[in-house]
Amino acid sequence: MTFILVYSLAALAFLIVFNLLLKKRSSRNNTLKNRPKKTRKPAATEKDTALAKEETLQQNQTEELLPAAPSEEPKAQAPSKNNNYPDHLVTLLMVLILGAFVTILNQTLLNNALPKIMNSFNVTTNTAQWLSTAYMLVNGVVIPFSAFLIETISSRKLFIFAMSMFGIGTLIAGVAPTFSILLIGRMVQAVGAGIIMPLMTTLFMVLFPPEKRGSVMGIMGVAMIFAPAIGPTLSGYIVEYSTWRLLFWVVLPIALLDIILALIYFKDVGERSYPKLDVWGLIFSTIGLSSLLYGFSEAGNDGWTSTTVEVTIAIGVIFLIAFVVREFLTDHPLLNLRVFKFPIFTLASVINLIVTMSLFASMILLPVYLQNIRGFTPVESGLLLLPGAIIMGIMSPIAGALFDKVGARPLAIVGLLVMIFTTWEFGNLTLDDSLLYIGTLYTIRSFGISLVMMPIMTEALNSVPRELSAHATATFNTLRQIAGSLGTAILVTVMSTRTNVHREIANSVYTTNNMHFMQSLQEKIMHLMQSMGISAQEAQQTIIGQIVTYVSRHSAVQGINDAFIVATLVTILGLIVSIFLSRAKIPGIHKTYDASNESK
């Protein structure tokens, strides 16, 4: 309990100090802004007029966050172009980012805890794996539905509801007396977590003009990238030195703190259109996505030829095709897939799919290499990868600021080149690579990832009109969910299949028909007999045991290397696509989107 209390107070202190610093900065900038300046007003162009209209809309969205001022003589004011934001808006952003951080962190916390949970409830590995599978399925179903919720429910009520669901699920999981109750708690958590990210991203697109979104989305990237990166380290430490239930008790106070701050500071923003619910679209997407994600999950365990995998993936594909057809035909789609008619959004979505699949290479394969093959504990492997997580947390806001200046294309090209080099190098791992080499390579790869993830997402969302922001956000996050599951299934399959191939090759070498091997074996047996004073039979058993262990470990490393090579090829494809990416136009210049025009 002392640890939880200190953890909560530290988070609260961070919020208070950060808010005070921003107030001080805002006050100083306001003083400078009030100094009289002589400026010459240039002739307005069509682009300037559109930008001014867009900024006026952004200003109207944030005005309600400010306290009411005494009425004075009306003064005409141009939209502000400085970097000052209202204090209430800054606090709102902090509330949103804290909520996103804790929900994303929660996704990776249980990875190292499954063995202890299995022992606590006496369940098998396949049963325990449902804690991750069920969370993923619920998350995948809720994210497409989030666009409808965002357009129907006020942002304040929806955020508090989502965080409350997440908090309730965390509480249920923390006190769960049985595995079934624990599973229910995880599913309730997933309902809230599935809403938070699309809601936060949509609000960012509403509250900030295009030329400032990169910096803000970069800050959001701290939650999206840094949280899952530190999750394994934190969970490994807790599981090794305490009970797995502490994983939920660490998360719960942060969730409660965020709910309290939301009740105090969260002012409703954004407009609601109250669309009609597309019931058939909801049914098709629920069945299709859940079947597809489950099929990909099982493919990593049972292989692609499993009957369960083939049937569930087939059902998923059929219902998703029906969902796509339905969404293009209805006037009130659950998820407006017409966002793909904007070329930049489509290209960025393809890069998003590819990078997410490649990202899972390091998230899945490196822990297997470090823990299962090299014999490190979860804490040791987590600490080895921690510098990479820190780099991603530091670089995400910097990449966002660079995006505002140069756009996503140059950042994506540089980042993908770095990812290609480092992923290829990971495809040449051995049993003797130093920890310094592995940690350095992972840190460099993390640097490349930070240049790609958030800039690509920001460019994609900048390219669609404001009225489609919620649908674009939900679509982008849904694709990321699918890519993560598909990437995991493919890489695990490649690793397992190629490991077996390399083992068979090695077994064909170490046979009695290989005279060179038999001669070397006899020499080793004689040397062991003389040095340890044991019998020939004992020496032979010892040597053969060492050979079997070596073949097993060496084959596993080669299987992991082959999976990294596949990830490298996928990343090269992403680099090729990124070359065709251009900078999104200012949404205010787009013609107002009208779904009725699609039928003309």
The model's pLDDT over 382-407, given as tens digits with 9 standing for 90+, comes to 788 888 888 988 888 899 999 988 88
Tokens 């990238």 -> residue: 225
Tell me which amino acid residue 367 is: P
Q: What are phi and psi of 309, to 5 degrees?
A: -65, -45
How far, CA to CA in Å, does 356 sit from each of 363, 567, 570? 11, 10, 10
Tell me the pLDDT band of 65, cut-offs 50, 70 and 90.
Answer: very low
- The listed range with the strongest mean pLDDT (216-225, 245-254, 296-305, 490-499) is 245-254
Contact status, residue 294 vs residue 311, Cβ threshold 8 Å = no
Among 314, 316, 257, which residue's Cα sits nearest to residue 292?
Answer: 316
First-to-last C-alpha distance (Å) of the chain: 64
Between 270 and 365, the more confident residue is: 365
Cα atoms in the 13 Å half-sphere on the side-chain side of 177: 0
Contacts for 489 with CB less than 8 Å, ≥ 6 apart: 296, 297, 299, 300
Supply 376's token pair: 């490190």
pLDDT of amino acid 38: 46
- Give the residue with greater pLDDT, 600 vs 205: 205
pLDDT at 5 over 50: no
Region 174-202: mean pLDDT is 92
> CA-to-CA distance for 97 and 75, rounded, in angstroms?
35
More reliable by pLDDT, 58 or 506: 506
pLDDT at 396 (0 to 100) = 87
Question: Which tokens in the block code for residue 370?
Answer: 């470090």
d(CA 579, CA 402): 18
DSSP 85: -
3-state secondary structure of 34: coil
> 19-33, 212-226, 521-535, 549-563: which has the minimum mean pLDDT?
19-33
**Which of 16, 54, 40 shows the shortest CA–CA distance to 466?**
54
Cα-trace Rg, the chain: 27
* High-pLDDT (> 90) share of the chain, %: 28
Q: pTM to 2 decimals? A: 0.75
User: DSSP label at 129?
Assistant: T
Estimate to the nearest angstrom the gap between the alpha carbon of 517 and the chain centroid.
49
Can you tell me whether residue 432 is helix, strand or coil? coil
Helix, strand or coil, per DSSP, at residue 194? helix
d(CA 157, CA 155): 6
Query: 């904007």: which residue's tokens?
Result: 342
pLDDT value of residue 513: 67
User: Residue 517: its pLDDT value, please?
Assistant: 66
- Mean pLDDT (the chain, rounded): 79
Q: In this structure, what token pair is assigned to residue 210? A: 């295009």
> Can you spell out the DSSP letters for 248-297?
HHHHHHHHHHHHHHHHHH----S----PPP-HHHHHHHHHHHHHHHHHHH
Q: Which DSSP letter does residue 226 get? A: I
Residue 251: other Cβ atoms inside 10 A: 25
Answer for the pair 167, 248: CB distance below 8 angstroms, yes or no: no
DSSP secondary structure of 57-79: HHHHHHHTTSPPPPP-S----PP
